């Protein structure tokens, strides 16, 4: 990928004598978070790492320049600085055994952000460099923007073919690792991967989206010798079917997982989501039910059935306290969305969480011989207000009631306690 950036910088220098339109953009985002009886890694009042009662301020600043050389060719260079003030974690707490280095999705000081060359005409767009790759509802491909530094950032080549409202995208690249103490050009990537995402509009407000993906890490590490996963699936949705709505996604994963003892284990996972409901248009309210499933690993089979969420974002889907991911999960959801005017959006949601396989991983825990599968129940309310064209406000609270799984786990792991958890978040974002 270093060669890719060398080519970009060379192209910028070579064309600097040309007449170029220069534009700039930026964002300042401040978010206060406060959690009680939980943190990002551990649950309860006795976490192994971090604080059980933690309040902190997240800051994220982005600044970018875009050069438009002609109607088709442009280049973008941008920087990002993401920090957390008075946080209960330190950088070394985010050491990742799979990648052999720190990978923090919350902190990354003075880092190269979106930086690419792009060619675009009416039917094709080619983007080469550091970029965000997101499609659909971001469940399968999403940047994870709720995380302060972003969960998935790509150094990639992407080709997008467009025909009216329909498109077909292909890309190949590698995911960036977030080390706040090391500039990204000086440390390696995480996964290499490729993907295809299509979007076919078959009626107004409805579309079918085929999905293919590939993920590989062939560098021996502390977890496995190598991982090679393939994914195939689709999403279909309709936002207004005689005032009803539905949204469904299904992904099948397969491939090979080579363990540290050199034994090859087949990957055989599945993840899906389905939701539906009714739009009460006269009061600008949507009421719906949802169910999300992600397989966990069955210890009685030779295959590895754990579904790993592909390259998706989970920040807003499986409870706003982020205690759950799209892996080893059964999530029953009831939600309502109220928009009294175009500037205000309020979502209330209730989740009932279960493990697919009790002894598979949850958060930072893997506990053998678990009998109970009910993680717990969560209530969330999140409101957003578009104060102006540049300023957005957000306020949210969440309350989690521990279930039988956590109560049992607390008897087997001293770093888990079965108290209920609470979280509050307040955010302001300014874009220019």
Residue 229, judged by CB atoms within 10 A of its CB (0-12, 13-18, 19+), counts as buried
Q: Which residues contact 301 (CB under 8 A, 6 or more apart)?
A: none
Length of the chain, in residues: 432
What is the C-alpha to C-alpha distance for residues 118 and 137, in angstroms, rounded to an integer?
Answer: 24
Residue 239, judged by CB atoms within 10 A of its CB (0-12, 13-18, 19+), counts as middle
pLDDT score at 75: 98
Residue written as tokens 């406060």?
A: 34
Question: What secondary structure letter does DSSP report for 186?
Answer: G
Neighbour-count burial for 54-63, b at 16+ CB within 10 Å, e otherwise: bebebebebb
Instruction: State which H helix or E strand residue 408 sits in.
Output: helix 404-409
Beta-bridge mates of residue 26: 63
Q: How far is CA 194 from CA 83, 169, 311, in A?
A: 30, 11, 10
What's the first-to-final CA gap in the chain, in angstroms?
30
What digits encode the pLDDT tens for the residues 100-146? Answer: 999 998 999 999 999 999 999 999 999 999 999 999 999 999 999 99
pLDDT score at 10: 53
Q: Which residues contact 108 (CB under 8 A, 6 or more apart)?
A: 80, 81, 82, 148, 149, 178, 179, 180
pLDDT score at 57: 98
Contact between 12 and 67 under an 8 Å Cβ cutoff? The reply is yes
Beta-bridge mates of residue 211: 197, 233
Contact between 36 and 55 under an 8 Å Cβ cutoff? The reply is no
pLDDT score at 18: 47
CATH number assigned to the domain comprising residue 330: 2.40.160.100
- Closest to 168 measured CA to CA, from 176, 159, 177: 159
Q: Taken in order 14, 18, 21, 23, is the CA torsion positive or negative?
A: positive
Domain count, the chain: 1
Query: Where would I find the beta strands (DSSP E) of 37-97?
Result: 53-68, 73-85, 95-96
- What does the pLDDT profile of the chain (432 residues) look like in tens digits? 555 445 455 555 454 444 458 999 999 999 999 999 999 999 999 999 999 999 999 999 999 999 999 999 999 999 999 999 999 999 999 999 999 999 998 999 999 999 999 999 999 999 999 999 999 999 999 999 999 998 999 999 999 999 999 999 999 999 999 999 888 887 789 999 999 999 999 999 999 999 999 999 999 999 999 999 999 999 999 999 999 999 999 999 999 999 999 999 999 999 999 999 999 999 999 999 999 999 999 988 999 999 999 999 888 899 999 999 999 999 999 999 999 999 999 999 999 999 999 988 899 888 888 999 999 999 999 999 999 999 999 999 999 999 999 999 999 999 999 999 999 999 999 999
Taking the CA atoms of the chain, what radius of gyration do you get in angstroms?
22
Distance of CA 102 to the CA centre of its chain: 18
Residue range of the domain that includes 282:
2-19+26-431
pLDDT score at 13: 46
Neighbour-count burial for 402-415, b at 16+ CB within 10 Å, e otherwise: bbbbbebbbeebeb
What is the C-alpha to C-alpha distance for residues 347 and 345, in angstroms, rounded to an integer?
Answer: 7
pLDDT score at 20: 57
């Amino acid at each position: 990928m270093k060669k890719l950036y060398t080519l970009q910088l060379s192209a910028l220098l070579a064309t600097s004598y040309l007449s170029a339109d220069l534009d700039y953009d930026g964002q300042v985002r401040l978010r206060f978070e406060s959690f009680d009886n939980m943190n990002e890694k551990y649950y309860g009042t006795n976490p192994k790492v971090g604080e059980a009662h933690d309040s902190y301020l997240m800051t994220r600043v982005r600044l970018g320049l875009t050069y438009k050389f002609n109607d088709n060719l442009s280049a973008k260079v941008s920087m990002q600085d993401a920090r957390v003030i008075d946080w209960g974690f330190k950088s070394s707490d985010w050491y990742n055994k799979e990648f052999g280095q720190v990978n923090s999705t919350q902190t990354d000081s003075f880092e190269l952000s979106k930086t690419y060359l792009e060619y675009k005409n009416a039917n094709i767009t080619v983007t080469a460099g550091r970029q965000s790759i997101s499609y659909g509802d971001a469940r399968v491909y999403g940047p994870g923007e709720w995380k302060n530094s972003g969960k998935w950032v790509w150094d990639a080549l992407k080709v997008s073919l467009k025909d009216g409202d329909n498109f077909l995208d292909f890309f190949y690249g590698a995911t960036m690792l977030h080390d706040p103490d090391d500039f990204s050009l000086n440390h390696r990537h995480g996964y290499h991967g490729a993907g295809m995402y299509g979007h076919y509009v078959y009626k107004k407000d409805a579309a079918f989206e085929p999905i293919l993906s590939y993920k590989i890490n062939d560098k021996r590490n502390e977890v496995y010798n190598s991982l090679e996963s393939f994914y195939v699936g689709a999403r279909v949705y309709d936002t207004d079917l005689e005032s009803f709505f539905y949204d469904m996604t299904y992904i099948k994963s397969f491939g090979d997982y080579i363990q540290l003892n050199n034994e090859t284990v087949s990957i055989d996972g599945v993840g899906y989501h389905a939701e539906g409901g009714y739009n009460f248009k006269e009061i600008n309210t949507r009421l719906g039910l949802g169910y999300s499933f992600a397989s966990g690993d069955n210890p009685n089979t030779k295959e590895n059935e754990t579904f790993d969420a592909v390259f998706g974002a989970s920040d807003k889907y499986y409870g706003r306290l982020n205690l759950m991911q799209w892996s080893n999960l059964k999530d029953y959801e009831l939600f309502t969305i109220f928009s009294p005017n175009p500037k205000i959006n309020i979502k209330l949601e209730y989740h009932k969480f279960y493990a697919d396989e009790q002894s598979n991983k949850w958060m930072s825990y893997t506990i053998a011989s678990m009998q109970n599968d009910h993680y717990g129940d969560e209530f969330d309310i999140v409101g957003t207000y578009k104060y102006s064209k540049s300023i957005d406000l957000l306020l949210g609270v969440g309350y989690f009631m521990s279930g039988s799984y956590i109560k049992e786990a607390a008897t087997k792991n001293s770093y888990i306690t079965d108290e209920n958890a609470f979280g509050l978040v307040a955010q302001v974002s300014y874009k220019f």
